[in-house]
Amino acid sequence: MKLPGFVAMLIVMALTGVEALAGEAPDFDDALRGLGSKSRTTILQSIEKLSELSDPRSLSALEALLDKRLRSDGSAGLFIVDDAGESFVDALSGEGVRVDAPDSLTTPRINNRVRRSLKPLIARLRLRNPDVSIRLAAATELLNRPSVDAVASIRVALEDESDQEVRDALEVALARIDLTSDDPKLRMQAAEVLGERGDRNHEVELKALLVEDEEGQFAEPDPAVREAARSAVEKIQRAAFLSDMAAHFLYGLSLASILLLAALGLAITFGLMGVINMAHGEMLMVGAYTTYVIVGLFETHLPDLLDAYILVAIPSAFIVCGCIGMAMERGVIRFLYGRPLETLLATWGISLILIQTVRLMFGAQNVEVANPAWLSGGYEIFRGVVLPWSRICIVIFAGLTVTGVWLVLQRTPLGLNVRAVTQNREMAASLGIATSRVDMWTFGLGSAIAGLGGVALSQIGNVGPELGQSYIVDSFMVVVLGGVGKLAGTVTAALGLGVVNKFLEPVSGAVLGKIFVLGFLILFIQRRPQGIFALKGRAAEI
């Protein structure tokens, strides 16, 4: 009996829906055409209208407007041009069209205010993209630019989102918006989410809820919300402290690896041979410039294998610096054994010659050595703590280098001869060991290891003629603190100084931190002149 009335109601609802769609379509078309206006006010009004409609068809036009690929013919025509500027797509229909006079089309001019309105809307529409990386970028944009208009889109996206990283970003974005909600329950839930998943950037927002005015009234009237905000601030601060400690340690470990590579060769030339080599830092510089030359050769002759240049740069720097070191020993150092102050002056002069030579060959400006693609990026160990792959590889490379040096000194005939000459030169000579040749090979080995350090340094910073000057003092500090002539002491001192430096820098600054380390070193040497490990070798007799 009631069926005709029910059918009539369905007909009315259907007609109402059709009328609504019919009314919405012109609104959408008008709003989209407004993006091509010459007036920025009209463009902003169109963006606001499209934001209300949340129609995914507007995404391509909005992206084109942001990228300056949107064109208008001044009337009803709105077109999207490709990156090459050759083909056109009708922004309303999405179909390819032919434009007879493309030069007559105008490009809408936008400013920062328009961009600030565009980016959150584009991010909302991109939340439906099947590509996880695009959804993550959209969620991050909404997190950084929270908007009340995005609440509905975020809630819908959370229902279907399967990627945990995207979900985390969306939940934090929603929490930042809900923190200003009129509902106390939403504000409390938002504070809890920010405490669990937020970072120190959200600490200011939470602390704002706990601010009291002159009359003692809190900015947040609800005590439960204030308690949740206070708890969230404590969680964020605790997580930030642990994150900072982990970051300082990890970056200190990478700095220690660099110091170890720089000091390892010096531990051989200074610790085992008693030569104060002020040109040791320039071996680092030569190794870095050798890497720069290898990169240039690969770019010119083997561009397809550019990512493999490091495999050629390592042995090349080792050989080049080793040859320079042996030439220094044969030409200058061998006449100055037993006279450390004279070796200091002589090698200082050699360092100046090497610096000026590099300036003449490559110029005085720093040069950049591009990292291989497989060394780009990093690994996020903790939230907000990312250790670059380049530094991770330097730590591994330093470990392999130390192992290789130990094997050379302990398991090869050269190492046996070096240890024999170091312990008793006269006895070694009487047994038929060519001590002068051992000196040459030992000095060359120390310089070659410094060249490997230069390869590592080229991966984390620019290369310049004064590169070695930044590490020569620290290298001597490592060798003296560890105990000259002791490989284990060099490793221990490098790790200690590297980690301590990174923990001191945030508190006292880089310069004052080095002063504190130097003061500690002076006091330590006063109490224990032989360093961490006992002094052995020819230097003990000087």
Residue 237 falls inside a structural domain: no
Are 172 and 251 within one domain? no
Q: Is residue 17 part of a domain?
A: no
Cα separation, 486 vs 532, in Å, equals 9
| In a domain? residue 249 | yes
Q: What is the pTM of this model?
A: 0.67
Structural domain range at position 155 = 127-221
Could you tell me if residue 119 is inside a domain?
no
- In whole angstroms, give the CA distance from residue 229 to residue 189: 10
> Does one domain contain both 100 and 143?
no
Looking at the fold, whether 297 and 434 belong to one and the same domain comes out as yes
Beta 78-81 vs 88-90: how paired, if at all?
antiparallel
Query: Does 358 share its domain with 410?
Result: yes
End residue of a domain, out of 161, 187, 221: 221
On whether residue 229 sits in a domain, the answer given is no
Instruction: Give the separation between CA 308 and CA 310, rounded to whole angstroms.
Output: 5
- Are 453 and 315 in the same domain? yes
**Each residue of 284-322: b (16+ CB within 10 Å) or e?**
bbbbbbbbbbbbeebeeeeeeeeeebbebbbebbbebbb
What domain count does the chain have?
A: 3
Residues 132 and 96 in one domain: no
Shared domain for 272 and 134, answered yes or no, is no
> Which pLDDT score is estimated for 542?
42
Tens of pLDDT along 416-435?
Answer: 888 888 777 788 888 888 88
The verdict on 51 and 185 lying in the same domain is: no
Using the 3D structure, point to which of 113, 142, 173 is the last residue of a domain. 113
Answer yes or no: do 394 and 335 share one domain.
Answer: yes
Q: Quote the mean pLDDT of the chain.
A: 82
Q: Which residues pair with 223 in a beta bridge?
A: none
Please tell me the distance from the alpha carbon of residue 129 to that of residue 178, in angstroms, as a whole number: 25
Q: Are residues 339 and 457 in the same domain?
A: yes
* Residues 108 and 160 occupy one common structural domain: no
Q: Which of 191, 221, 251 finishes a domain?
A: 221
How sure is the predictor about 98, in pLDDT bands with cuts at 50, 70 and 90? confident
In a domain, 13, yes or no: no
pLDDT in tens, 437-454: 888 998 899 899 999 989
Is residue 205 assigned to a domain? Answer: yes
Pair 506, 247: CB distance under 8 Å: no
pLDDT-derived band of residue 16, with 50, 70 and 90 as boundaries? Answer: very low
Q: Given a cut of 70, is residue 536 above it in pLDDT?
A: no
The helix-helix angle for 472-482 and 487-508 (nearest 10°) equals: 120
**Is the predicted pLDDT of residue 215 greater than 80, yes or no?**
no
Q: Do 211 and 356 share a domain, yes or no?
A: no
In a domain, 230, yes or no: no
**Is residue 14 predicted with pLDDT exceeding 70?**
no
pLDDT number for residue 2: 41
CATH number for the domain including 398? Answer: 1.10.3470
* pLDDT per residue as tens digits for the range 285-313: 999 999 999 999 999 898 888 888 999 99
Enter the tokens of residue 303.
Answer: 């561009």
Mean pLDDT of 382-400: 82
